Amino acid sequence: MPDSNQKLSRRDFFKASGLIAAGAMGGPALLGGLRTAQAAPKAPAWTSGFSACDMCFNKCGLIARVEDGVLTKLDPNPKFLKSRGMLCARGNAGISHVYDPDRLKHPLLRKGARGEGKWQRIPWDEALDMAAEKMAAVRRDYLPCGHLFSAGSDLQSQFVGRLAEVYGSFNITSHESLCLVSNSRAFLDTFGEVPFADVLHSKYIIMAGANRFEALVTPDSMDLMTAMREHGCKLVTLDPRYTKTAALSDEWYPIRPGTDMAFMLALAHVIIGEKLYDAQWIAEKTYGIEQLTEHVKQYTPGFAAEQCGIPAEDIARIARELAAAAPTSMVYPGRRSSDYEDSTQIRRSFAIVNGLLGNWDRPGGLLAARAVGLKGVPYDAPWYDENHEDRIDAETVPMMFEHEGSFMVTRDAVLADDPYKIRGWFIYKTNPMATAPNRKKTIEMMNKMDFITVVDIAMSDTAWFADLVLPSQSYLERTDPCSGLQGSSACACVVKRDPLIEPLYESRPLFDIVKGIAGRLDLGEYFDFTMQEFRTRQLAGLPGAEEILDRDGVYYNPSKVYGIYDGRVYKTLSKKVELYNQRYEQMGIDPLPVYTPPAKVPANQFRLVIGRNALVTQGSTANNGLLHQFVPENTLWLNPEPAERLGIADGDLVEVSSAVGRQSLKAEVTDKIRSDTVYMLTGFNSLSTMQHLAHGNGASIAEVLDGKYDTVTGNAALHQTFVTVTRKVA
Amino acid sequence: MQRKLMLLAASALVMFMTVSMAFALGDGNGRKGKFLYRKNCRTCHNGATAKDLSPADMTQAEWKATFADMSKIKCSGDWTVSEEDVNDIFTYLHDYAKDSPSPAKCS
């Protein structure tokens, strides 16, 4: 034995001394005497581990503290550049998400009518048997496409897509057609891909159709503040509401809703008319400047002023300032564009102005996606000759995204049984009952189904109308696949999740659930792997990444940020930035955005608009105990002028009524909104009584909104609903 | 002489197939093409035996040009699929090309 092992350390000495002394004293004094004698630093009574937040879609890095198997605190991961080392209030409130007393605890089978709330607890095996049997029955009676699959934004949602494909259904929808697909469409069709905004290095930003200081996007929200406070970036905001973004802007214009395109085309009019663009860049990198020049002649600042309610001289000045700061300037590409029936064309006008600024692939402008390096994990799905030819929502709109679908078009098709019948629905972590306009129609759609299986952490309204509800695990209880994230100029990175606590109740991860169902459908071979094996394949091209992920909670790929397209052609038909879109012309869609004034708000009515609050993620946080303390209910923003005319005082209970539904909530009389517009938060007044903070609280916007959609992509058009507001007599 | 005749016949066959395929290309079943691509092409195009391949690796025009003269596709001599299947595979690759309305995210 080596000498070193025979030496008695100072600590051992004292420990031994203590033992001897304690032994000499005997009895209860022993432990106390030992502790005193040690005088060593106590090991922490908690452990910590990395994860990625799931309280919205941003997936910010975090460090969770666990004491005695219980999560006690969530902190930001300081090494996580995408969020600039921060974690927002919702991220901090993740603990309430995990320990929500309303969490689903075990599989539940509906026993009464849909929505009646009568449930029977059943064992997992019985639940999976039933889900598989019902899916097999739907496939037998209605062919594989007779089953619909829907999944929200989640690292495991890809396994719902895999289940749908191996089952044989083309019908899978995501949440995105209720959010942003028209924006993605417009920028993809202009630049060849959906860009990321390099806010940090920009000198001049026009923010329209986005509320970046409340609708948080990382790193944009943080970078915008840094750009303004430290780099002198100017921010001009167009919004019918005086949002927190508006409040922090250099200039705010309460634009008339639905007229953003007129504003953008007028900017183009000035920039082109006064030749404020980089002629060489435009000639080399863009297609269609001649057609655009001709097209925007009609859209003068004077014309736009009449439409938007913004002075013509301000529009012209902003155009000049924007161009002077180019290419480190931008019209912010925004995110949620589910607003009008011509949303794609509205966002095309945003994209075209960016094209004129020459900011593509350059610092302070719009950036291409960076290389992350994760590999796909391919599989060979079977083919079913006996099936329908296409998705149920195909060919209603010309340019729907195949991998996102359109919830609105799908719903209409299901209700009409046209072109075929859908009678089964598998839903994971998305809640169309709370997010899709015209809730009554969504209920009708659910009533059409023979069987609906919902996998979620809580009894959402969609789960409330299902047949079988299966409890899933929270993001802090499970192993997830790796995910590649784009962080603009901050980073391109990879995150993963591992369990930090034991899963609560009988909850299971979605992966285990679809694996169990697939096995019962003789499709088990497509899920014959563990999550760790899946991750290993994802990371095959990034040697050492897994160790770095374990050490830092994030892996960065030092890939190129700017000039990604140097020496490469753009992914458009013309291989250039398409100011004029050739494919649109071929398909009979306006190749340049043509402005159509929005419908006038009828007398004694208001346009209802949606928006975000930094403490709310739609219906998924309305029942969060911590966040509820900050936003206990939603209210109706109403301008003082019409409020006085209608005899409504601040705090009065009002009824909001549209062509499709009515709801009641408290009025918030405020001059932070135009007099022709009203606003309320989404996610409140759930029908599910198993959401005790959200049920019967405030108003459901989904009940009131009308169900129109963008004619190019099928994206929901949520700003086209007119409502009346009346004071309710107590 | 016989060899020359065989070569001539083979060339004529390739030419005939190329021309007939050129006329037939497009409007196939892209969904089935995805299945056929995975079954027949990805066995080699898996990043190990041959280069990993995705529809988004090329533009629609490039896929058209590639399939316009299939004799230039190195492995075409080994193909065992029918003309209809080739057209379905082409439709899949073309319809999810990098400049298509829905570029493929993965194959």
Lowest mean pLDDT across A13-22, A189-198, A246-255: A13-22
Q: Which two tokens stand for residue B104?
A: 């493929």
Least confident of A390-394, A608-612, A682-686, B76-80: B76-80
Residue to test with chain A: of B59, B64, B107, most A Cβ within 10 A: B59
Share of chain A above pLDDT 90, in %: 92
Q: Which residue has the higher pLDDT, A648 or A28?
A: A648
> pLDDT confidence of A27, banded at 50, 70, 90?
very low
Please state which CATH number belongs to domain A192-370+564-587: 3.40.228.10
Closest CA to A318 of A309, A327, A306, A310: A310
For an interface test with A, the pick among B62, B94, B102 (most A C-beta atoms closer than 10 Å) comes out as: B102
The pLDDT assigned to A362 comes to 98
Residue ranges of the domains in chain B? Answer: 2-95
> Confidence band (pLDDT; 50, 70, 90) for A354?
very high
Q: Which residues of B touch A389 (CB under 8 A)?
A: 29
Mean pLDDT to the nearest integer, A136-162: 97
Domain ranges of chain A: 3-38, 46-94, 108-179+401-556, 192-370+564-587, 606-727
**Token couple for B34:** 């995805």
Render pLDDT for A370-429 as a digit per residue (tens, 0 to 9). Answer: 999 999 999 999 999 999 999 999 999 999 999 999 999 999 999 999 999 999 999 999
**pLDDT above 60 for A579:** yes
By C-alpha distance, the chain A residue nearest B46 is A378
Q: How many distinct helices (H) and strands (E) make up chain B? A: 4, 0
* Fold of the A46-94 domain: N-terminal domain of TfIIb (2.20.25)
8 Å CB contact between A62 and A53: yes
Structural Rg of chain B based on CA atoms: 15
Q: What is the pLDDT of residue B74?
A: 84
State the pLDDT confidence band at A7, using cuts at 50, 70 and 90. very low
Mutate to test the interface with B, among A402, A538, A578 (most CBs of B within 10 A): A402
Predicted confidence at residue A730, as pLDDT, reads 65
Judged by a CB distance cut-off of 8 A, whether residue B84 touches chain A is no
- Contact A571/B42, CB-based, under 8 Å? no
Cα nearest neighbour of A384 on chain B: B32
pLDDT bucket at A25, cuts 50 / 70 / 90: very low
Contact flag A378-B103 (C-beta cutoff 8 Å) = no
What integer pLDDT is reported at residue B2 of this predicted model? 55
CATH class of A108-179+401-556: alpha beta
Mean pLDDT of chain A: 94
Cβ-Cβ contacts under 8 Å, A380 against chain B: 35, 38-39, 42
- Name which of B31, B99, B102 is nearest A572 (Cβ-Cβ): B99
Of B17, B12, B67, residue with least CA distance to B37:
B67
DSSP B28: S
Measure CB to CB from residue A380 to each of B38, B102, B106 and give the nearest one.
B38
pLDDT of residue A3: 38
- Decide if A568 touches B, using CB distance below 8 A: no
CB A328 within 8 A of CB A320: no
Interface of B with A in 61-80 (CB under 8 A): none
What class, spelled out in words, does domain A606-727 have in CATH? mainly beta
The answer to whether the CB atoms of A170 and B31 lie below 8 A apart is yes
| A647-665 average pLDDT score | 98
> Residues A78-82: what's their mean pLDDT?
97
User: For testing the chain A interface, which of B99, B100, B105, B107 should be mutated: the one with the most A CBs within 10 Å?
Assistant: B99
Contacts of residue B102 in chain A, CB cutoff 8 Å?
401-403
CA atoms within 13 A on the CB side of A574: 21
A374 at B interface, C-beta within 8 A:
no
Looking at beta carbons, which residues of chain A come within 8 Å of B106? Answer: 376, 378
Please give the residue that has the higher pLDDT: either A12 or A502.
A502
Instruction: Tell how strand A555-556 and strand A491-497 pair up.
Output: antiparallel
Contact A573 B99 (CB under 8 A): yes
Quote the percentage of chain A above a pLDDT of 70: 95
For residue A289, CA distances in Å to A294, A355, A576, A653 come to 9, 10, 11, 53
A639 Cα to chain B: minimum distance (Å): 42
What's the token pair of residue A40?
A: 């060593």
The predicted-structure confidence for A81-91, as pLDDT tens digits, reads as follows 999 999 999 99
CB of A402 within 8 Å of a chain B CB? The answer is yes
Say how many C-beta atoms besides its own lie within 10 A of residue A600's C-beta. Answer: 10
Do residues A609 and A257 lie in contact, with contact meaning Cβ atoms separated by under 8 Å? yes
Residue A617: per-residue pLDDT? 94
What pLDDT, on the 0 to 100 scale, is given for residue A4?
38
What are the two backbone dihedrals, phi and then psi, of residue A669, each rounded to the nearest 5 degrees? Answer: -80, 120
- Cβ of A571 within 8 Å of Cβ of B98? The answer is yes
Residue A24 clears pLDDT 80, i.e. is over it: no
CB–CB contact B59 A569 (8 Å) = yes
Question: Of A399, A168, A375, whose CA–CA distance to B35 is shortest?
Answer: A168
Q: Which residues of chain B have pLDDT under 70?
A: 1-24, 106-107
Contact across the interface for B99 and A192, Cβ inside 8 Å: yes
Which residue is closest to A571 within chain B, CA to CA? B99
Q: Which residues from B are below 8 Å from A390, CB to CB?
A: 31
Residues 6+ apart with CB under 8 A from A614: A88, A89, A90, A213, A214, A215, A216, A244
Q: Which of A18-27, A168-177, A539-548 has the lowest mean pLDDT?
A: A18-27
User: DSSP E strands: which ranges in A417-573?
Assistant: 424-428, 451-456, 468-471, 480-487, 491-497, 555-556
**Which of A42-46, A79-83, A239-243 is the least confident region?**
A42-46
pLDDT band at A216 (very low <50, low <70, confident <90, very high): very high
Q: What is the dihedral of CA A506, A511, A516, A518, to 10 degrees?
A: 160
Contact B99 A382 (CB under 8 A): no
Helix (H) or strand (E) holding A411: helix A407-416
Nearest to B101 among A381, A390, A399 (CB): A399
pLDDT over threshold 80, residue A47: yes
CA distance B95 to chain A (A): 11
Residue B51 touches chain A, beta carbons under 8 Å: no
Which one, of A455, A387, A449, lies nearest residue A424 by Cα?
A449
For residue B59, list chain A residues with Cβ-Cβ distance below 8 A: 569, 571, 575
Burial of A21 per CB tally in 10 Å (0-12, 13-18, 19+): middle
* CB pair distance less than 8 Å for B32 and A383: yes
Q: Do B35 and A378 touch (CB under 8 A)?
A: no
A380 vs B31, B32, B39: nearest CB: B39
The pLDDT value given to residue A685: 97
Q: What are A364's strand-pairing partners? A: none
pLDDT of residue B5: 52
Q: Does A405 touch chain B (CB under 8 A)?
A: no
Tokens standing for A130? 């039933």
Across A609-635, average pLDDT: 95
pLDDT at residue A729, as a whole number: 82
A189: chain B residues, CB-CB within 8 Å = 101
- Helix axis angle for A510-520 and A124-142, nearest 10°, is 60
Pairwise CA distance, residues A214 & A224, whole Å: 12
Residue in A72, A117, A60 with CA at minimum distance from that of residue A98: A72
How many residue pairs bridge chain A and chain B with CB atoms within 8 Å of each other? Answer: 44
Give the list of residues 6+ apart from residue A244 with CB closer than 8 angstroms, or none.
A211, A213, A214, A614
- At A522 the pLDDT is 98
| Rounded-to-integer distance, Cα B81 and Cα A426, Å | 35
ipTM of predicted complex:
0.82
Nearest to A264 by CA among A328, A200, A214, A334: A334
Q: Tell me what the mean pLDDT of segment A564-573 comes to.
A: 93
Q: Can you tell me whether residue A297 is helix, strand or coil?
A: helix
Residue B11's contacts (CB-CB under 8 Å, 6 or more residues apart) are none
